[in-house]
Structure 1
Amino acid sequence: MPTKIEKVTNLFEAYRNEREAGPMTKYMKNHFPFLGIKSPIRKELEKVFFKETGILKEPFDQEFILELWEKDEREYQYMALTYIEKSLKKLQKGDLALMERLVLEKSWWDTVDAIAAKAVGKIAEKFPEIIEETIDDWAEHDNLWLRRTAILFQLKYKEITDEERLYRYISSNSDSKEFFIQKAIGWALREYSKTNPSSVKQFINENSLAPLSVREGSKYVD
């Protein structure tokens, strides 16, 4: 009987499309190879897998995620993200270590952002002690993807956003020359401005931020 990872591989390989794979790889700056499965088809294949295996009714499977992460083609990491998103209610405090590993391995915005705003955000909401224990350190980490994760983990928090912490993380990264940090700052400010536009406007006016961050963060306050 095939394992779960073998079932996913068989499903995906049947839809490998070399003609589509090239442009998809190029779009991701040639960081990762692709099978060439477009998103709508991949999502249908994921539905088939979830239905056939019943994995969503089982305990959260870290090993399955790591097996997907080890696969070369990027569609397997996207499958892992879908599984995580459908398992958010199952996440426990100990799963933060897995999310950190996923952020650090095969790092790019397409996986990091989903992990930050969904998985890390959910774990921090359920177990807020992990913010001081771990995420505060991420905000000043040498690794830019952990810093981006810290800036973005409250992205969906709206009224429960810890404004002081959000602004503190942004301030400690405001002099970064990294595009992905400047972009994250702008994105975080833009999302929070939907909840508290006056606060965001004041913060932008009173702090020295990169033009990209200001432009992105000011979208709903000007």
Structure 2
Amino acid sequence: MEIEFKSMNVYLLPLQKLFQQHADAVKAAGAKKYMLNRFVFYGIVMAVCRKLSKDFIKSNSLTSVAEVEKIAKQAWQLPEREWQYFAIELLSHYKNQWTISTIKTIEYCIVHKSWWDTVDAIADACAGEYFKLFPQQVNAVTGAWNASENMWLQRSSLLFQKKYKAKTDTRLLAAYIQHLSSSKEFFIRKAIGWILREYAKTNADWVKHFVETNQHLSALSRREALKHFP
């Protein structure tokens, strides 16, 4: 069981009041059910949650990336799911100040309170951006993720390139997909199809050829990959 912080960082107290003011018990119950009762919620719709978070971050600047990462990890340990969404916004806002060690915080967020909503958001806003800043880290870090036994790290190794378009490393992508293609996990099979479908928007011929020559891909992965093909 994860240990929750019993006292909130003073930086977060004003945001806690904002979250409480916008809380909706009915929406919170619906969100909890949608997430299979894995998390509790304030019940703030995502668009409002993001605006509250972004406005708060802009109005309450932090002086160091170490402080950013510390507060992000503390927010991650708070019970309401909106705090994890806030932590992703906080990390992303300060990406120009990230150091090579920021990947430790990103990994922490991937492997704690893991579910598709946060893991996929981290892939977009944090992991993908981190490897643009520190390309020398790509092979070692994402290779370890792909080879790990943690499904969410594996999924992240596939999805971090989702927005890379023409800059996608297809050699790496192919190797990572092939290594995980025998996985029985729904979230891995879905991610394989999803990343291929996204890359098809940039290079449809490559994706079509890859799917045709990798017959061991699951039906779900193949279906997702070719979803927008004639």
Q: Same fold (TM over 0.5)?
A: yes
Q: CA deviation at 1:52?
A: 3.3
Q: CA deviation at 1:51?
A: 4.1
Give the match for residue 211 of structure 2: 204
Tell me the distance in 2 between the aligned counterparts of 1:88 and 1:110: 20
- Output the TM-score relative to the length of structure 1: 0.93
* Structure-2 change in CA distance of 1:216 and 1:132 (3 Å): same
* Structure-2 change in CA distance of 1:44 and 1:127 (3 Å): closer
8 Å Cα contact 1:11/1:45 also seen in 2:
yes
Superposition pairs of residues 52-131 of structure 1, within 5 angstroms: 52-55=59-62, 58-60=63-65, 61-131=68-138
8 Å Cα contact 1:65/1:80 also seen in 2:
yes
1:28 to 22, 35, 41: 35
Tell me the distance in 1 between the aligned counterparts of 2:12 and 2:64: 16
- Tell me the matched-pair count: 219
8 Å Cα contact 1:118/1:153 also seen in 2:
no
2:178 to 171, 174, 184: 171
Structure 1 unaligned runs (5+)? none
Give the match for residue 140 of structure 2: 133
1:164-191 CA distances to partner (integer Å, 9 max, x unpaired)? 1101000000011100000100011011
1:20-42 CA distances to partner (integer Å, 9 max, x unpaired)? 11001111111100011112332
- Output the TM-score relative to the length of structure 2: 0.90
Give the match for residue 187 of structure 2: 180
Q: Tell me the secondary structure at the aligned position of residue 216 of structure 1.
A: helix
RMSD: 1.5
Q: Tell me the secondary structure at the aligned position of residue 139 of structure 1.
A: helix
1:213 matched to 2:202: no
Moved more, 158-167 or 85-94: 85-94
Percentage of matched positions with identical amino acids:
37
Structure 2 unaligned runs (5+)? 1-8
1:152 matched to 2:159: yes
